[in-house]
Amino acid sequence: MMWKYYLFLSGISITCQTVLGQANIEQSPIDSKDLMTTVKFLSSERFKGRLPGTVEYEQASRYVATRFKNAGLNPLLGNSMLQEFDEEVNYILDAKVFLIDQNNRPTQPMYLGEDFVCRGFTGSGEVRGETVFAGFGIKTDEYNDYRSIDVRNKIVIVFKSAPPWKPISGSWGDTSPRGKARIAKELGAKAIIIIGEPQMTPNTMVYGSIACGPKPHIVDFPMIHAGSRLTDSLFSKLPFKPAEYYEMIKRDKAPHSIETDKSVYINVRAVYHEAKKTYNVVGYIEGSDPKLKHEYVILGAHLDHVGYQGDRLYFPGANDNASGVAGLIAIANAINKSATKPLRSVVFVVFSSEESGLKGSKHFVANMPFTADKVVAMLNFDCVGQGDSIAIGGKLSYPKLWKKAKKLDHKTTKLLSPRTFGGGGSDAQAFHEVGIPTLYFHTSGGYKFLHQITDKPETLNVLVFEKVVHLGYLTTMELANKNYKREMDRQKRKAS
């Protein structure tokens, strides 16, 4: 899951009334041991956070292809299960940050992975300079954080988000990390330090992200994301804390940019490639009915995560989203072992490049070997291993589809939370946009370790994990074998 959806989805963290561990009369066809084995393997150090464009990601995609093959899936596109496309990649080799005094002497070392991380598409460079707090790092005709400060040869500190009020012109411009870095660089700054939104708890968490905004890449401009110790140090001589500046800017709708009287040394070594090969993994089970086999149920989960930085830090991504990939493999195995064969064809897609902007799912949808109207529904699995109950997005757009899952849950898994949202989201978005009904399987209360180095297999809740995947399996079989009349997006219908 991309970090930007976090605030939205974390609002859905309610405790389900259902008691865990209620005895199921029916034996679950999902092998929970195998789910965990897959998650442990994919989140292990050997895959270094599954960054698209790396050898490690390629190995992970080949592993999934083998598991798909062993589960009886066949390639859908040509002879190979790997669907190749180009992706930009940035190998972060090393990063150092120190607080320094007037004489350029280091006073306080900061630790990679604890006090700071690099943004995934950081540039390289060894720079030192005074730091300046520049609010949201926005520069438009109606609002300009740089109006009264000079940032030449300095290092700029900005909030990650856009201002929390609506711009009169309708746009703040490019508020992505790259967009903000571009403005700072044009004004003569040497590097940028991004700090978290104060409304996020904890707001100074260190997390990995490769969602950096549109190209071009800025090769020579370090982009650092500060954790609490670095943020506190940078603001220690100022009269207010970041959260107070945030409120002041919001209240006045005017900048409160200020020199911090603190200097830092930053040294980042990264190697950027504009195009490296990456892969979706696509397999399918052909429907057993000669007519219905030309209709498709698509299951999707992203394999990529946010990679590594230096030689000691990597982001395991156990919940995000080794869990979803393990779920797809388990569902394929369960169908393979089932006595009833699906009448419609079931397509399994493991996506690359979700974290950098949903590129794998967009690429798949743009190159489907059948038209969108042949797809009955798409079920997406993203972050399904943690939390306390099952959650499924999509009800507000596709209520009939959602109710099918609800009914199955009522009979079997008994753990579905009533909280939901509209269609699309994450990799379901591209399918939703071409009129395919979507459900987005995830959990309630499952985003505690999102994009952190602590997103490890031991934080998963195996009971919930097994049940989400079980419900995914039941919903797949229902859609593959029973009638479901495709719905139009209800929210869109209402709006028009």
| Closest distance of CB 2 from Zn ion, Å | 6
| Closest distance of CB 76 from Zn ion, Å | 25
SS (H, E, C) the chain: CCHHHHHHHHCCCCCCCCCCCCCCCCCCCCCHHHHHHHHHHHCCHHHCCCCCCCHHHHHHHHHHHHHHHHCCCEECCCCCCEEEEEEEEEEEEEEEEEEECCCCCEEEEECECCCEEECCCCCCEEEEEEEEECCCCCECCCCECCCCCCCCCCEEEEECCCCCCCCCCCCCCCCCHHHHHHHHHHCCCCEEEEECCCCCCCCCCCCCCCCCCCCCCCCCCCEEEECHHHHHHHCCCCCCCHHHHHHHHHHHCCCCCEEEEEEEEEEEEEEEEEEEEEEEEEEEECCCCCCHHHCEEEEEEECCCCCEECCCEECCCHHHHHHHHHHHHHHHHHHHHCCCCCCCEEEEEEECCCCCCCHHHHHHHHCCCCCHHHEEEEEEECCCCCCCEEEEECCCCCHHHHHHHHHHHHHHHCCECCCCCCCCCHHHHHHHHCCCCEEEEEEECCCCCCCCCCCCHHHCCHHHHHHHHHHHHHHHHHHHHCCCCCCCCHHHHHHC
| Closest distance of CB 9 from Zn ion, Å | 11
Residue number, 356 or 413, with CB nearest to Zn ion? 356
Residue number, 437 or 457, with CB nearest to Zn ion? 457
312-320, 328-336, 399-407, 457-465 -> range binding Zn ion (CB under 5 A): 312-320
Residue number, 57 or 402, with CB nearest to Zn ion? 57
Residue number, 120 or 472, with CB nearest to Zn ion? 120
Residue number, 361 or 476, with CB nearest to Zn ion? 361
What is the footprint of Zn ion within residues 315-334 (CB under 5 A)? 320
| Closest distance of CB 391 from Zn ion, Å | 16
Which amino acid is located at 110 in the chain? M
Residue number, 71 or 306, with CB nearest to Zn ion? 306
Question: If binding means CB under 5 A, how many residues of this protein chain bind Zn ion?
Answer: 2
Residue number, 1 or 401, with CB nearest to Zn ion? 1
| Closest distance of CB 101 from Zn ion, Å | 39
Query: Is 1 one of the binding residues for Zn ion (CB under 5 A)?
Result: yes
Site string for Zn ion, 271-310 (x = CB under 5 A): ----------------------------------------
| Closest distance of CB 207 from Zn ion, Å | 9
What is the footprint of Zn ion within residues 51-80 (CB under 5 A)? none
| Closest distance of CB 441 from Zn ion, Å | 15
Query: Is 115 one of the binding residues for Zn ion (CB under 5 A)?
Result: no
| Closest distance of CB 446 from Zn ion, Å | 12
* CA separation for the pair 492, 496 (Å, rounded): 6
| Closest distance of CB 43 from Zn ion, Å | 13
| Closest distance of CB 209 from Zn ion, Å | 8
Residue number, 4 or 400, with CB nearest to Zn ion? 4
**Residue pair 65/283 in contact by the 8 Å Cβ criterion:** yes
Residue number, 319 or 333, with CB nearest to Zn ion? 319
Residue number, 118 or 375, with CB nearest to Zn ion? 118
State the residues that interact with Zn ion by CB under 5 A: 1, 320
